[in-house]
Structure 1
Amino acid sequence: MIKYFSPLALGLCALPFVTTAAFAEAPDAVSDAVSQDRLRADVEALVGFGTRHTLSSQTDARRGIGAARRWAEDQFRASSKACGGCLEIATPETMVSGSRIPDPVRLVDVVAIQRGTERPNEVVIVQGHIDSRASDVMDAKSDAPGANDDGSGTALVLEAARVLSQHKFPTTIVYAVLSGEEQGLFGGKLLADYATQQGWTVKAVLNNDIVGGSCGSDGYCDDTHVRLFSEGPRADATDETRAAARRFGGENDSPGRNLSRYITGLADGVQDDLDVRQIWRADRMGRGGDQLPFLEHGYPAVRFTVAVEDYEHQHQDLRTEDGVTYGDTVDEMDFPYLAKVTRLNVASLAELAKAPTPPAPEADAAVKTWTDVTWQPVPGAVSYNVWKRRTTAAGWEAEPVVAGTEMTHAKLDGLRGDDWIIGVSSVAADGSESPIAAAVPGGGFRPLEQK
């Protein structure tokens, strides 16, 4: 048996970063290439378009959503030129209408695709939305700087492309700048539909929305945490899946929830001054983000957002009232904080792009004193780790129950399955490890219709 102890178990301090180009660096070395100055310059450029409202001009050369999209596409093309043409640029589009879009409008996402060298159909997506809004969600005329919401997420995506395109990975990374979020998550739906049309195996979606501030409207500040939202019960669950989960567990083991645990495990190996605060909700109370359309498709997706939101500088007209300044402007942002969140995203993308897809395990422990765990082979995996955690525990135990097995089944003697959640991760030849998929109804990382 190959003895392999997970980076998650060992705190990731010694986890090697190895690309298919035999490039060996630790995750923090890769993410150290993130530039705070470039992030600021990108946010300032985005604010310079005046408004990026989805219903603003698509033809004006300097103002509005069209000019902003073309600028973002130019940034991707510059990154592609710097890596010898390694990025394919796509601009999926559709016509949309809705309660916040009374007349049909052309909606365009700007996407850069860095194809994997071995399994290009396996895809990891990082995204942010480029559109902005003022107090009135229908106001397409007033200035709407959208510095933090979501110039910060857009800048993060552009910077991730600059950094990671300098390396090669066995699987594909997609960098996406989305439109139409403020009008009803239309850009996220467009890209989720596009991913399905392309036949991609979507391993993870990292949505970044409002990731560049550290102080709230009440004066409370926190620049040492980022919130990571993940769904509990799957959005694409069927009646059959929900019934099975009620009997056998799974309400706390959606792919998104285990993706959240995985990223949390990576964080300490990236930097010392930013921890993940897992939020076990699909999004904030009463609100939404572009990860939600992916969840509805059955794709694992999470949302990064600041530890503390500032409501005076979000969705507000530029103004001063009773001595209080309102508006989502650059001067209210914390760029050292944005750089930290960007570094965590870059490290997470790199690890996910190197690792195989998680398996879809099943556990059988009925009326016996042991547990049998089985799964199908995963492309790119040379071995598997089997994990356990108490049904009441937040996270997986520190070390696997079985480490480095090349088989696709394991008999866990003496482990009475009624008392435990069991999971399996896949491991590549270079030691890169996937998130853990739980052996519960709906625990696999594929859409349920593809299970």
Structure 2
Amino acid sequence: MRSLQLLVTSLAASAFARSVETHSQHAIIPQDDQSSTEELFLIELSPGETRWVEEDEKWELMRNGVKFMDITETKDTYPYTEVSQSAAIVYPSKPKHMDEVKALTKTLDKDNMRKHLEGLTSFHTRYYRSQTGIDAALWLHDQIKEVIEASGAFNYSASLNLFPHSWGQSSIIARFPGRTNHTIVIGAHLDSVNMFFPYLRAPGADDDGSGTVTILEAMTALLQSDKIVNGSSENTIEFHWYSAEEGGLLGSQAIFKSYSEEGKDIKAMIQQDMTGYIEQTLAHGKPESVGVITDFVDPALTKFVEGIITVYCDIPYTLTKCGYACSDHASASKYGYPSAFVIESDFEYSDKKIHTTDDLIKYLSFDHMLQHAKMTLGFAYEAAMAKF
């Protein structure tokens, strides 16, 4: 195993050298304190199953399709709390605000998503320990700020904050208070990584640039609602863009640990990770659909999501599984908050170009991303107006 690891590392180093030669004006070369072999990380591979690894072993696990949480900073294993806050939550049995949501849906714009995704993928990598990863988060923050400023929501009580982390790249939280502190969270992750060597080119168009711009466009449409902008919705809405998902759900764990310690009242969290790839679904003769994850999620919230898709999307959903710690919703679940996760397709047919230089915009369907934006918008508005 060690000899194989050394071979992979050697090949990766050679590839990195070629990348530096070809893209010297863009490549980010690790500093001494960023060496991937000097640090050990505590990861959790399944609930309660932990081990210490070097960073290059993380990427080897990724290449082998093994998912994990990095719990080095928190030492909290899954679940951190046995008391789920979802036990007493009753979600609406069906959508109740169709007229309002469908009017907002008309403002969704695929061109906006493309523009933002082109900007996001222009960074050499969004690896959470790289300078371009830091810069990408700041750039995204500025795009989000422009949207909120244009809506006038800052004139009420909306806020936009960077959530700092020890590794450099910040997460981003946009908050739109309602009449109660009951909070609905819509999430995606802003980082990317190349699984062969983290400082290589990693455009991350689908993973998770697609989810990042999908929830941004849904937020843009949601802010066409006066009730959301002026704070008269029943519940508070937060949009999260997480740092360092690829490193083991690091950013989202930090946020939900903080929320748990503060006693925040999170009624629902939904994650959008990969929303644009449908080639393999169609190649296998399957209908285009939205993938609804059924493992390591809250069943009642997931049922609510299914109802949202049925009413607000033009395509059906398919039930699928993705395993332990497959995206940031797992961090919400870990700290006792009800979570759901929606992906671009049946997990079997999801994008296999991720974590490489070939995760590019040209392979994505913005029409499909629009369906995810419709779902996100419907979810956000219906949950914002629900009485819990």
Residue number in structure 2 paired with 1:393: none
Displacement of 1:147 in angstroms is 0.1
Q: Which residue of 2 aligns with 1:315?
A: 355
Q: Quote the residue 1:386 is aligned against.
A: none
1:92 counterpart residue number:
163
TM (normalized to structure 2)? 0.69
Where do 1:8-87 residues align within 5 Å?
8=93, 15-16=96-97, 25-57=99-131, 64-84=132-152, 85=154, 86=156, 87=158
Q: Which has the higher contact order (CA 8 A, sep 6+)?
A: 2
Change (3 A) 1:217 1:274: closer
Q: Matched residues in 2 for 1:7 and 1:355: separation?
A: 7
Distance 1:175 1:345 in 2: 11
Residue 380 of structure 1 is matched in structure 2 by none
In the TM superposition, residue 266 of structure 1 has moved relative to its aligned partner by 2.2
1:301 equivalent in alignment to 2:359: no
Deviation at 1:221, TM superposition (A): 6.2
Alignment correspondent of 1:146: 204
Structure 1 or 2: more strand by fraction: 1
Quick one: structure 1 residues 42 and 198, their matched pair in 2 at CA, closer, same or farther if it must change by over 3 Å?
A: farther
Structure 1 residues 152-207: Cα deviation after superposition (integer angstroms, max 9, x where no partner): 11101211221112322221110111110111100110221232244321011110
Residue from 372, 375, 378 that aligns with 1:347: 378
Question: Structure 1: which 5+ runs fail to align?
Answer: 1-5, 18-24, 58-63, 96-104, 233-253, 319-326, 358-451
Amino acid aligned to 2:171: D
- In structure 1, the residue corresponding to 2:380 is in which secondary structure? helix
5 Å-filtered alignment, 1:125-274, equals 125-136=185-196, 139-167=197-225, 168=228, 169-216=233-280, 219-220=283-284, 222=286, 224-231=288-295, 256-271=298-313, 273-274=314-315
Please report how far the alpha carbon of residue 82 of structure 1 lies from its aligned counterpart in structure 2 after TM superposition: 1.3
Partner amino acid, structure 1, of 2:338: P
Contact 2:271 2:341 in 1 (8 A): yes
Alignment deviations for residues 123-158 of structure 1 (CA, whole Å, 9 cap, x no partner): 10111111111132xx23211000000001110121
Correspondence for 1:21: none
Tell me the equivalent position of 1:434. none
Separation in structure 2 between the aligned mates of residue 111 and residue 222 of structure 1, nearest angstrom: 36
Normalised TM-score (structure 1)? 0.60
Q: Secondary structure at the match of 1:144?
A: coil
State the Cα distance separating 1:217 from its structure 2 match: 8.8
Determine the structure 2 residue equivalent to 1:114.
176
Check whether the contact 1:134–1:143 (CA below 8 A) recurs between aligned residues. yes
* 1:313 match: secondary structure: coil
Question: Whole-Å Cα distance in 1 between the matches of residues 287 and 209 of structure 2?
Answer: 18
Larger radius of gyration: 1
Structure 1 consecutive aligned stretches of length 4 or more whose deviation exceeds 6 Å: none
From the superposition, tell whether residues 56 and 201 of structure 1 become closer, same or farther in structure 2 (CA, over 3 Å): same
Identity %: 22
The residue type paired with residue 361 of structure 2 is V
The DSSP-based 3-state class of the residue aligned with 1:268 is: helix
8 Å contact kept, 2:190–2:243:
yes
Per the alignment, do residues 258 and 189 of structure 1 end up closer, same or farther by CA in structure 2, a change over 3 Å counting?
same
| Corresponding position of 1:338 | 369
Change (3 A) 1:111 1:286: closer
Q: CA RMSD in A?
A: 2.2
CA distance in 1, matches of 2:291, 2:281: 17
8 Å contact 2:206–2:364 — kept in the other structure? yes
Deviation at 1:227, TM superposition (A): 1.1
Contact 1:222–1:307 (Cα < 8 Å) also in 2: no
Are the counterparts in 2 of residues 226 and 277 from structure 1 also a CA contact under 8 Å? Answer: yes
Asked if 2 retains the 8 angstrom alpha-carbon contact of 1:230 and 1:301, the reply is no
